[in-house]
């Protein structure tokens, strides 16, 4: 069987680097696979076949000449459609931006992956302007979950997560403002990381709410995730021999959770021999603060555009942005002040613990045709509420991995593992142990029943 994107990035790079296969062959296999299967999931919005072929030629030439082609030589990747890519418009998932001026250069993270030898295959679907947890795009259609195409992939980086989960590319880039990496990683059953603030560069990224915006990778294994994270990160992480102090988050992070998600957290805690519980009584207020900061910043950023092109927006996104423009300044400033107070509280919490665990999403992916979920006994739109457990942690500005709980053959969900900035090495070591011990791990979709 030819080596394609369902192979790991590590295997692809090893084989390309030693000449056992060619980057050109990999790219042709991936393009053929996307041609065949993308329509089932609607992950890619644009496939950049010719530029990918040219990049593959350059990699193969380097291998032939004995020049180091980079640690990701020949590895195909996709980028959420809010990263600048030289020569094409950055749509941010908006039809109105299809004819925007082309980007003059690549976003820094795209450039870093290319310099490492990775090959950009195309742009990936998202909620318009990243405002949603569903990847139901009024213009480009919904992205479907590879584990059950009748269900949401999650969002707003749903195209990225679904493309990796479906095996169309081994790695992809997304952004996480309120949970837009962790929610789709959870629902699609793969790994994703929201980095600590200011660790992965944001230049060339279309903004949503800059105070909370971050970018990061998706992958099907921890080793691939860490490899890409290290290439994107500005900071060198240190390893640690210390045994991490692990606690589960209770209260807000258990309310509304499916019993299976809570059992997963408890199973991991029991395996680690920890019964510690971390209290975060500010979580609900933190979620509200994140809603208010996002609405205010998003609304302010789009106000001029809304004045002239309101009719061209996805109606669901337009409503939320317009509401944000009307938010009283006092409410916004209160949210900003809360953020500082909350971060001080989180710092205190991490004096007692190294790693905090909570579900990434309350349950498995909702159906696309019934995109609601139950919160406090009431049905609410999934699009706005799937980030129930991710939003409070976003405000903290800390690194958080969403890891797939190991449950082959069933609809996936993920667990969040949060740590304090600088302790990423310790976090990755713990996750590696849990992956080896069979508690965490991604699985190829087997098209679970939607009933």
Partner 1 sequence: MLMQSEPNSFLIDVSKLLDLGIPEACVAGIETSLELLRNHARILDAYVLQVEIEAVNDGEQT
Residue ranges in contact with partner 1 by CB under 8 A: 282, 284-285, 287-289, 291-292, 295-296, 299-300, 303, 306-308, 310-311, 313, 315, 318-320, 322-332, 334-335, 338, 341, 384
Min CB(305)–partner 1 separation in Å: 11
Strand 148-152, strand 171-176: pairing: unpaired
Spatial distance between the Cα atoms of 81 and 85, rounded to a whole number of angstroms:
9
Spatial distance between the Cα atoms of 10 and 23, rounded to a whole number of angstroms:
13
CA 427, 433, 434, 435 torsion-angle sign: positive
Residue 1 or 326: the one with the smaller Cβ distance to partner 1 is 326
Strand 355-359, strand 414-419: pairing: antiparallel
Min CB(349)–partner 1 separation in Å: 16
Spatial distance between the Cα atoms of 14 and 1, rounded to a whole number of angstroms:
17
Of 388, 368, 365, residue with least CA distance to 376: 388
DSSP 191-257: EEEEPPTTSS--TTB--S-TTT-EEEEEESSHHHHHHHHHHH-SS------SPP-EEEE-GGGTTT-
Residue 335 or 426: the one with the smaller Cβ distance to partner 1 is 335
Residue 245 or 345: the one with the smaller Cβ distance to partner 1 is 345
Strand 76-80, strand 119-124: pairing: parallel
Residues with active-site annotation: 80, 156, 180
Min CB(205)–partner 1 separation in Å: 22
CB 268 within 8 A of CB 415: yes
Spatial distance between the Cα atoms of 113 and 161, rounded to a whole number of angstroms:
17
Distances (CA, A) of 117 to 6, 71, 207, 329, 339: 18, 7, 27, 46, 39
CB 382 within 8 A of CB 419: no
Min CB(289)–partner 1 separation in Å: 6
Residue 212 or 442: the one with the smaller Cβ distance to partner 1 is 212
Residue 182 or 287: the one with the smaller Cβ distance to partner 1 is 287
């Amino acid at each position: 069987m030819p080596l394609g994107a369902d192979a790991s990035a590590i295997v692809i790079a090893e084989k390309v680097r030693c000449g056992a296969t060619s980057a050109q062959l990999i790219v042709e296999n991936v393009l053929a696979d996307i041609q065949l299967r993308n329509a089932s999931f609607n992950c890619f919005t644009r496939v950049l076949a010719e530029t990918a072929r040219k990049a593959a030629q350059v990699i193969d030439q380097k291998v032939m000449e004995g020049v180091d082609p980079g640690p990701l030589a020949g590895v195909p990747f996709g980028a959420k459609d809010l990263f600048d890519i030289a020569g094409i418009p950055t749509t941010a998932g908006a039809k109105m931006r299809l004819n925007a001026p082309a980007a003059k250069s690549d976003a820094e993270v795209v450039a870093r992956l290319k310099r490492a030898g990775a090959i950009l295959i195309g742009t990936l679907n998202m909620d318009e302007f990243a405002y949603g947890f569903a990847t139901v795009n009024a213009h480009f259609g919904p992205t479907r979950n590879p584990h059950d195409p009748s269900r949401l992939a999650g969002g707003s980086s749903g195209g990225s997560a679904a493309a990796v989960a479906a095996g169309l590319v081994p790695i992809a880039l997304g952004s996480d403002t309120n949970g837009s990496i962790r929610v789709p990683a959870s629902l699609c059953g793969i790994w994703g990381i929201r980095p600590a603030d200011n660790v992965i560069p944001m230049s060339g990224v279309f903004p949503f709410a800059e105070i909370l915006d971050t970018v990061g990778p998706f992958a099907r294994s921890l080793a691939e995730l860490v490899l890409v994270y290290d290439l994107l990160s500005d900071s060198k992480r240190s390893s640690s021999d210390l045994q991490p102090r692990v606690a589960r988050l209770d209260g807000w992070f258990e309310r509304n959770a499916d019993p299976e998600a809570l059992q997963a957290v408890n199973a991991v805690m029991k395996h680690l021999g920890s019964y510690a519980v971390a209290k975060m009584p500010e979580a609900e207020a933190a979620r509200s603060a994140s809603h208010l900061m996002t609405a205010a910043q998003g609304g302010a950023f789009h106000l001029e555009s809304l004045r002239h092109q309101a009719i061209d927006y996805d109606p669901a996104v337009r409503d939320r942005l317009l509401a944000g423009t009307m938010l009283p300044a006092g409410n916004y400033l209160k949210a900003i002040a809360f953020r500082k107070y909350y971060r001080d509280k989180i710092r205190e919490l991490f004096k007692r613990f190294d790693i905090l665990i909570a579900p990434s999403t309350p349950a498995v992916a909702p159906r696309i045709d019934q995109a609601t979920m139950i919160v406090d006994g009431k049905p609410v739109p999934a699009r706005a509420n799937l980030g129930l457990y991710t939003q409070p942690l976003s405000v903290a500005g800390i690194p958080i991995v969403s890891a797939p709980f190991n449950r082959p053959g069933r609809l996936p969900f993920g667990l969040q593992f949060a740590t304090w900035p600088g302790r990423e090495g310790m976090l990755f070591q713990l996750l590696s142990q849990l992956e080896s011990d069979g508690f965490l791990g991604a699985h190829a979709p087997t098209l679970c029943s939607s009933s």
